[in-house]
């Protein structure tokens, strides 16, 4: 019996199924918040201040957290996508002036609380729904790069001027990079499975009309399919991030990316890429480095590299993008981040 056949047909039954699923997901996410503290610190007696313990904790906590986030985002985006016709979506977006779609996608990215890795399933959903690659790339860049948590923290720590510069520069990078990628017509460099909409292993047209149960089945099957394809890339990326996390002391930044080094922005970006964090998670380090005298432009470039070009995200994106498009994405976004860093340093000097 398929998943669709097991789901109740009554409204009350459907609501109950959804509520139970969301409740189980929320419980798992809540347990993950404290589980590894109990296992590592209490059960195994490991030192919370040890870098080895911090690395292990980072890997275990982030692996489960990101898998849970991926599961719910893939499921939700697949179910929503099942209500969309590819033809209608393309027609709607085709009627917009060039660049308007990029602006709308970047704005949507700001209000979605996705880290760089969890934005990838939403990217897959947009592409499968017929949204142009360039527009989708604007979302993919803006979602981790500019978010409301980072805006709130920056506003508190550095004031509205720096915050405004951060928001404008982040949106500019996302919009311009997406526009450039759209002009290059890079659809051929997206892995073919990203464009498929399947139910029970068969390609379908969601515009033909699906039952509630079939939409739920699509969501579950998509979660299994995508996670089966990317889980090893995900764990390798998080593992590398965990190994680097916490091992680069603040003094390293002040020595090699300080205000007297004309290559400080470049060095900060290259240091940031192997790390993995969201904007809120990297903010304490940014504040500490700012207190040590590092230029704000250098720090913003570092933060943007961490959240928009992290190594785990690149490993995950490689599963859905071919090497040519991945290289263009990294180059375009990276050059934008570097330019913003030098521009900020010049303005705030």
Number of domains the chain is built from: 1
Report the predicted TM-score, pTM, of the whole model to 2 decimal places: 0.67
Contact 157, 299 (CB under 8 A): no
Does residue 288 belong to any structural domain of this protein? yes
The whole-number pLDDT of residue 294 equals: 84
Q: Which residue has the higher pLDDT, 113 or 256?
A: 256
Percent above pLDDT 70 for the chain:
76
The whole-number pLDDT of residue 113 equals: 56
Q: Which residue has the higher pLDDT, 184 or 233?
A: 184
Does residue 27 belong to any structural domain of this protein? no
- Given a cut of 90, is residue 35 above it in pLDDT? yes
The whole-number pLDDT of residue 54 equals: 84
pLDDT one-digit tens code per residue, 126-160: 777 677 888 888 888 887 777 666 677 677 767 88
Does residue 341 belong to any structural domain of this protein? yes
pLDDT one-digit tens code per residue, 264-320: 899 888 888 777 666 656 776 777 778 778 888 888 888 888 877 877 778 778 878
d(CA 54, CA 50): 6
The whole-number pLDDT of residue 21 equals: 87
Does residue 69 belong to any structural domain of this protein? no
Task: Choose among 156, 123, 148, 151: nearest CA to 137.
Answer: 123
The whole-number pLDDT of residue 332 equals: 83
The whole-number pLDDT of residue 26 equals: 92
Question: Alpha helix locations (H) across the chain?
Answer: 3-6, 11-37, 51-81, 86-94, 100-111, 119-128, 133-145, 148-158, 160-183, 212-244, 250-256, 264-272, 279-291, 296-308, 311-317, 323-347
Sign, CA torsion 33/240/292/307: negative
Tokens for 203, please give them: 């390609």
Does residue 258 belong to any structural domain of this protein? yes
Does residue 335 belong to any structural domain of this protein? yes
Q: Print the domain residue range for 320.
A: 242-348
Does residue 249 belong to any structural domain of this protein? yes
Does residue 182 belong to any structural domain of this protein? no
Query: Per DSSP, what are the bridge partners of residue 202?
Result: 199
């Amino acid at each position: 019996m398929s998943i669709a056949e097991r789901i109740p047909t009554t409204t009350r039954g459907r609501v109950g199924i959804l509520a139970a699923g969301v409740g189980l997901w929320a419980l798992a996410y809540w347990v993950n918040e404290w589980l590894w503290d109990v296992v590592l610190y209490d059960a195994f007696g490991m030192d919370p201040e040890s870098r080895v313990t911090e690395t292990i904790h980072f890997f275990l906590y982030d692996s489960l957290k990101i898998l849970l986030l991926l599961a719910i985002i893939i499921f939700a985006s697949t179910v929503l996508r099942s209500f969309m016709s590819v033809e209608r979506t393309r027609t709607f977006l085709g009627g917009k002036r060039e660049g308007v779609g990029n602006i709308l996608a970047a704005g949507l990215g700001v209000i979605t609380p996705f880290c760089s890795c969890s934005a990838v399933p939403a990217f897959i959903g947009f592409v499968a729904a017929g949204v142009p690659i360039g527009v989708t790339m604007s979302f993919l860049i803006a979602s981790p790069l500019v978010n409301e948590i980072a805006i709130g923290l920056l506003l508190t720590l550095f004031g509205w001027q720096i915050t405004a510069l951060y928001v404008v520069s982040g949106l500019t990078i996302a919009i311009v990079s997406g526009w450039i990628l759209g002009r290059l017509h890079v659809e051929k460099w997206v892995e073919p499975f990203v464009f498929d909409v399947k139910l029970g292993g068969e390609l379908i047209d969601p515009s033909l009309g699906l039952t509630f149960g079939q939409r739920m089945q699509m969501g579950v099957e998509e979660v299994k399919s995508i996670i089966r394809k990317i889980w090893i890339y995900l764990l390798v990326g998080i593992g590398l991030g965990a190994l680097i996390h916490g091992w680069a002391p603040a003094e390293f930044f002040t020595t090699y990316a300080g205000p007297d080094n004309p290559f400080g922005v470049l060095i900060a970006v290259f240091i940031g890429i192997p790390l993995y964090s969201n904007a809120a998670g990297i903010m304490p380090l940014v504040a500490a480095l700012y207190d040590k005298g590092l230029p704000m432009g250098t720090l913003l470039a570092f933060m943007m590299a961490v959240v928009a070009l992290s190594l785990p995200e690149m490993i995950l994106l490689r599963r859905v993008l071919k090497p040519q498009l991945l290289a263009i994405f990294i180059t375009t976004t990276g050059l934008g981040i570097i330019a913003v860093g030098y521009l900020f340093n010049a303005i705030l000097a």
